[in-house]
């Protein structure tokens, strides 16, 4: 793991917080939800019955393990399995187990923005699958994409699970997919999860749990600003709010100031004014259908090879090749 990324990440955090809280309307990036506490909260979210995404994708990988695994296999030279946003690796382990037990020649390269997540996953895999070759890295998607081009000696399969693509608006998603395509050779595959459009209430419930875990997860970004940048946010004065637009398929999360206040962030020498009911936009979770995914692929120079869905058809994993 590359420890040199830490100071760079801190600088990016400072820059993006300054920018986001100075803009109107205010916004902060959901990638900063994740630290030791944030990772733990996200694991709790994934275990909630209302948060269907994890269960659906787990079902897909469990019921199609052999088909997907054999699609990945390269008998001649082996392959590199590169996962962006690996998290705790719970779903990926289904595939990793199949691949290690069926004589695949491969290296698993999990990449995540959370140093804590990468460390936990690496240690877990060393215990659970001691023969597995793991080469983990801490980093952000867009940074890592440049380095992916260096993996050109043998087949590579790039995985993005958990509908992480959904955190990007369509233009940014096309930019991301185009960069992935640019890093791919003709035999390479991209395996990616997309949460599907469905009953709007089901979507709202997934991000608006009665237990308040998602609210705590969103507010963890304020906790981090307080701890790492010397901020004085009072978390109780912000309300987590979720909206979903079925027309565009966009779910958005906000933190809403319940009273007027002035926040100071010492390390940034920044003072931020909030009016009552003013918002900080923290996350977007885009929902898709086949038409949208085909359009995104075409715009990015990719084509859909195949797709897999769960029994309820709530969620789909698509396999893409370079067009």
Q: Residue 5's pLDDT is what?
A: 58
State the sign of the Cα–Cα–Cα–Cα dihedral 46, 63, 69, 183: negative
pTM: 0.90
Q: Are residues 246 and 276 in the same domain?
A: yes
Mean pLDDT over 296-308 rounds to: 98
Q: What is the pLDDT of residue 15?
A: 96
Q: Judge if 240 and 256 occupy the same domain.
A: yes
Instruction: Give the pLDDT of residue 128.
Output: 96
The answer to whether residues 221 and 243 belong to one domain is yes
- What residues form DSSP beta bridges with 106? 79
Residues 106 and 226 in one domain: no
Distance, in Å, from the CA atom of 313 to the CA atom of 162, rounded to the nearest integer, reads 15
**Alpha-carbon gap, residue 67 to 78, rounded angstroms:** 17
**Average pLDDT, integer, range 251-278:** 98
Whether the predicted pLDDT of 147 surpasses 70? yes
Indicate whether 252 and 305 sit together in one domain.
Answer: no
Q: What is the CATH number of the domain that holds 71?
A: 3.40.50.150
308 and 175 within one domain? yes
Q: What is the pLDDT of residue 139?
A: 86
Has residue 2 got a pLDDT over 60?
Answer: no
Interval 101-127: pLDDT, tens: 999 999 999 999 888 889 999 999 999
Mean pLDDT of the chain: 94
Structure confidence at residue 3 (pLDDT): 47
Q: What is the pLDDT of residue 245?
A: 97
Whole-number Å distance between alpha carbons of 301 and 137: 27
**pLDDT > 70 in the chain, percent:** 98
Residues 33, 176 within the same domain: no
- Whether the per-residue pLDDT at 287 is higher than 90: the answer is yes
The C-alpha atoms of residue 290 and residue 11 are separated, in whole angstroms, by 39
* Domains identified in the chain, total number: 2
4-23 confidence digits (pLDDT tens): 556 777 899 999 999 999 99
Query: What is the percent of the chain with per-residue pLDDT over 90, rounded to a whole number?
Result: 85
Q: Please write the tens of the pLDDT for every residue from 196-252.
A: 999 999 999 999 998 999 999 999 999 999 999 999 999 999 999 999 999 999 999
Count H helices, E strands: the chain?
11, 14
Output b/e per residue, 96-113; b: 16+ Cβ within 10 A: bebbbeeebebbbbbbbb
Which residue range is the domain that position 186 belongs to?
A: 52-198+288-322
Q: What would the mean pLDDT of 68-87 be, rounded to a whole number? A: 95
For residue 83, the cross-strand partners are 110, 159
Indicate whether 136 and 223 sit together in one domain.
Answer: no
Higher pLDDT, 78 or 140: 78
pLDDT in tens, 151-181: 889 999 999 999 999 999 999 999 999 999 9
Contact 204, 241 (CB under 8 A): no
Q: What is the pLDDT of residue 87?
A: 85
């Amino acid at each position: 793991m590359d420890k040199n990324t830490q100071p760079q990440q801190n600088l990016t955090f400072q820059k993006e917080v300054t920018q986001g809280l100075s803009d109107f309307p205010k916004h902060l990036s959901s990638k900063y939800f994740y630290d030791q506490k944030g990772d733990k909260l996200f694991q709790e979210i994934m275990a909630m019955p209302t948060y269907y995404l994890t269960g659906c994708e787990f079902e897909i990988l469990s019921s199609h393990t052999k088909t997907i695994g054999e699609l990945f296999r390269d008998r001649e030279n082996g392959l590199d399995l590169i996962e962006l946003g690996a998290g705790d690796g719970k779903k990926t382990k289904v595939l990793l187990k199949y691949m290690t037990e069926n004589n695949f020649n491969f290296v698993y390269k999990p990449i995540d923005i959370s140093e804590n997540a990468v460390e936990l996953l690496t240690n877990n895999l060393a215990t659970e699958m001691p023969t597995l070759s793991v080469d983990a890295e801490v980093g952000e998607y867009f940074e890592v994409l440049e380095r992916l081009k260096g993996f050109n000696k043998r087949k590579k399969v790039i995985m993005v699970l958990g509908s992480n693509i959904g955190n990007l608006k369509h233009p940014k998603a096309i930019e991301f997919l185009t960069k992935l395509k640019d890093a791919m050779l003709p035999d390479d595959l991209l395996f990616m999860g997309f949460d599907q459009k469905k009953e709007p209430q089901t979507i709202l419930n997934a991000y608006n749990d009665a237990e308040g875990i998602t609210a705590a997860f969103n507010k963890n970004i304020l906790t981090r600003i307080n701890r790492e940048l010397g901020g004085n946010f009072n978390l109780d004065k912000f309300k987590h709010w979720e909206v979903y637009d079925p027309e565009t398929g966009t779910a958005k999360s906000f933190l809403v100031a319940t009273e007027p206040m002035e926040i100071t962030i010492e390390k940034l020498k920044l003072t931020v004014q909030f009016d009552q009911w003013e918002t900080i936009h923290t996350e977007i979770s885009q929902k898709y259908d086949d038409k949208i995914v085909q359009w995104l692929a075409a715009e990015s120079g990719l084509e859909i090879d195949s797709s897999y869905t769960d029994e309820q058809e709530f969620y789909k994993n698509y396999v893409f090749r370079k067009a």
